[in-house]
């Protein structure tokens, strides 16, 4: 029996052996493939020549004539001059606030991956105006090159106190360097422009990239263009790289501005804002529309020289003479605004005096109508009030005209608000809402009316938080531009969480941060495409009444412990007004 079974057992052994053998082969292949996969995912695998990037970018300009629209949307940041004349010896590097996660950064940054130029797309169009021409720039982008730039940032190829590592991380990284070179070649290819005019065009290009102030590591140039946004350093790096390729001496200048870290670009010029060893350096603000050589409020801590170029910038159309005209206009706006605030103060006093007569009961939503002993006094207050309102509107018209003229001086460029002009002004109308400033006036008026409502309940006035107002402004614009209505942004992050990320906190533990949003139309009615516009006072009254009619929002506004707020308005292309209020 044993012998008979013996032949039957051999095939089993063979089958088992073969199965084990095949299993081992499969297992080996698995580990080999896993190794290959891991190797292919190793970020710093030697691969494509970075010069290949130039074969795929294909950037191009579309140039057309500019048509100015009255009261075009526009925002400009005025900078106080510190009359800086000389830096003395340059301070190299960025200080301890910038870091390199891995101390041996250079080993990471010297290597690069295989780039397949995968998942290509055309960049978002970057638009700006120069000398009566509208420029629209597009360039081909690829997701794997973007991932590469993001990865070397995350790996720690970033700032250090060592200047050589700084240069290597931003201006000697081959892919990003070739990318900036490609952009520079597109600018150099523009016909009928001098070298200095190309500098001005490049400055406007970078200034027109949407500004985004976020926390964490800065972006490499490819990331900035891919995401279509950047902060002061992100944008300055691109501009300095272009200036380098255009054969100018380029700098990154860094320091503090309004208690915030700030960076701007610099260029070797004939008459600078500062001097280094006899070499004149002109400031170029990257975050806002601002002429080359304009004064800047940055308190300089040091700077990095990016290149030694043969060219020296001489002002053409976007330099110090233009900056002087812009400053003159804004000085006049400040003077008019001071008069405006004085009148607003008088109006508040007159309102209070009218309420103190027996002719009107300001504590009631519906004013009493009856014979009053103080009629003569009350009517004189009303006469003064109406006279001041007329003067107020006249001043607003003057300010709007100066804003418009300044916009034309700056070639009609927009910096923050990308909306169409909101209709035509009606005769005897105070204003519709075409500009940032008028939307700002609306925010101020809503704030004033809210404090009046709080005063009726003997609650303290709310102050203004500029940080909250900026966050509210960003959210109102996002809602208006994207036609949605929510207390969270498009990324699904709540305003409360965004405030925490930006380190905006409420000091009063009994008044946690809260948010109100509201929307309404900017007009009474529309017939045959003609709008019967609401003025700012009417819109503000509608907003405050609407907020107070909702028990939940009213409770937030009337909370005793609240002491400050940020409130802002923005208007969509179909003339809906979006309001965001952050309060605590």
Task: For the chain of 584 residues, list the mean pLDDT of each consecutive stretch of 10.
Answer: 33 44 45 35 58 91 72 30 34 38 48 77 91 94 88 62 52 85 95 96 95 75 92 93 96 86 93 90 94 92 89 95 93 89 86 81 57 80 83 78 83 50 33 56 88 88 84 88 91 90 78 91 79 82 93 91 89 88 92
| Torsion over CA: 40, 41, 47, 52 (sign) | positive
Q: Are 573 and 420 a contacting pair, CB within 8 Å?
A: yes
* Bridge partner residues of 269 (DSSP): 313
Strand partners, 582: 515, 566
CA distance 144 to 173: 16
Cα 435 to Cα 439: distance, rounded to the nearest angstrom: 6
Q: Please tell me the predicted confidence (pLDDT) of residue 235.
A: 94
Q: Tell me, what's the pLDDT at 273?
A: 94
**Cα 110 from Cα 46, distance rounded (Å):** 10
User: Is-contact 202 283, C-beta < 8 A?
Assistant: no
DSSP 189: T
Quick count: other Cβ atoms within 10 Å of Cβ 338? 11
Measuring CA to CA, how many Å separate 154 from each of 157, 313, 507? 7, 36, 34
Which residue do the tokens 């065009």 mark? 201
Three-state DSSP at 287 gives coil
What CA–CA distance (Å, rounded) separates 137 from 97? 35
Q: Specify the pLDDT at position 225.
A: 95
Predicted local distance difference test score (pLDDT) of residue 68: 55
Q: Which two tokens stand for residue 116?
A: 């397949």
Phi, psi of 497 (to 5 degrees): -70, -40
Q: Which residues of 246-276 are buried (b: 16+ CB within 10 A; e: fewer)?
A: bebbbbbbbbebeeebbbbbbbbbeebbbeb
Alpha helix segments (H runs only) across 134-213: 143-154, 163-171, 174-188, 195-207
4: three-class secondary structure by DSSP = helix
pLDDT at 166: 52
Supply the pLDDT for residue 363. 67
Give the burial string for 410-446 (b: 16+ CB within 10 Å, else e): bbbbbbbbebeebbebeeeebbbbbbbbbbebbbbbb
pLDDT of residue 155: 64
Alpha-carbon span 326 to 459, nearest angstrom = 42
Euclidean distance between CA atoms 291 and 201, whole angstroms: 11
């Amino acid at each position: 029996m044993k012998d008979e079974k013996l032949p039957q057992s051999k095939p089993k052994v063979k089958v088992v052996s073969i199965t084990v053998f095949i299993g081992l082969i499969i297992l080996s292949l698995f580990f080999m493939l896993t190794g290959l996969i891991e190797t292919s995912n190793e970020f710093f695998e030697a691969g494509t020549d970075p010069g290949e990037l130039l074969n795929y970018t294909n950037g191009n300009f579309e140039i057309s004539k500019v048509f100015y629209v009255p009261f075009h949307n526009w925002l400009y940041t005025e900078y106080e001059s510190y009359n800086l004349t000389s830096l003395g010896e340059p301070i190299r590097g960025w200080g301890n606030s910038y870091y390199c996660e891995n101390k041996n950064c250079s080993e990471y940054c010297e290597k690069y991956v295989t780039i397949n130029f995968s998942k290509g797309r055309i960049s978002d169009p970057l638009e700006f105006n120069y000398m009566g021409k509208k420029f629209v720039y597009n360039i081909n982008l690829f997701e794997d090159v973007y991932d590469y730039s993001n990865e070397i940032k995350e790996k720690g190829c970033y700032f250090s106190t060592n200047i050589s590592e700084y240069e290597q991380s931003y201006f000697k990284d081959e892919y990003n360097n070739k990318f900036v070179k490609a952009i520079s070649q597109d600018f150099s290819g523009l016909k009928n422009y001098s070298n200095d005019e190309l500098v001005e065009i490049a400055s406007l290009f970078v200034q027109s990239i949407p500004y985004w102030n976020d926390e964490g590591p800065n972006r490499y140039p490819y990331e900035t263009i891919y995401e279509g946004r950047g902060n002061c350093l992100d944008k300055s790096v691109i501009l300095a790289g272009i200036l380098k390729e255009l054969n100018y001496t380029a700098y990154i200048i860094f320091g503090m501005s309004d208690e915030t870290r700030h960076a701007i670009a610099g260029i070797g010029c004939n008459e600078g804002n500062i001097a280094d060893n006899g070499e004149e350096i002109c400031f170029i603000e990257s975050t806002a529309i601002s002429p080359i050589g304009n004064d800047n409020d940055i308190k300089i801590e040091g700077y990095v020289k990016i290149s030694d170029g043969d060219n020296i910038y001489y002002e053409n159309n976007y330099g110090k003479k233009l900056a002087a005209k812009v400053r003159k206009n804004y000085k006049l706006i400040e003077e008019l605004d001071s008069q405006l605030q004085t009148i607003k103060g008088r109006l508040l006093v007159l309102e209070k005096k009218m309420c103190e007569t027996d002719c009107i009961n300001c504590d009631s939503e519906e004013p009493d109508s009856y014979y009053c002993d103080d009629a003569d006094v009350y009517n004189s207050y009303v006469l003064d009030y109406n006279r001041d309102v007329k003067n107020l509107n006249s001043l607003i018209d003057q300010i709007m005209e100066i804003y418009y003229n300044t916009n034309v001086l700056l070639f009609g460029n927009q910096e923050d608000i990308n909306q169409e002009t909101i209709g035509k002004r009606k005769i005897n109308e105070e204003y519709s809402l075409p500009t940032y400033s008028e939307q700002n006036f609306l925010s101020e008026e809503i704030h004033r009316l809210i404090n009046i409502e709080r005063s009726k309940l003997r609650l303290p006035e709310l102050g203004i938080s500029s940080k909250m107002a900026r966050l509210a402004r960003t959210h109102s614009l996002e809602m208006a531009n994207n036609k949605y209505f929510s207390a969270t942004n498009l990324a699904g992050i709540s305003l409360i969480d965004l405030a925490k990320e930006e380190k905006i906190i409420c000091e009063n533990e009994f008044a946690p941060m809260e948010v109100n949003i509201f929307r309404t139309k900017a007009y009474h009615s529309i017939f045959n495409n003609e709008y019967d516009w609401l003025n700012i006072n009417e819109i503000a009254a509608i907003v405050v009444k609407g907020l107070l009619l909702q028990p939940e929002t009213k409770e937030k506004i009337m909370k005793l412990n609240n002491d400050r707020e940020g409130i802002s308005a923005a208007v969509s292309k179909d003339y809906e007004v979006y309001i965001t209020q952050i309060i605590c």
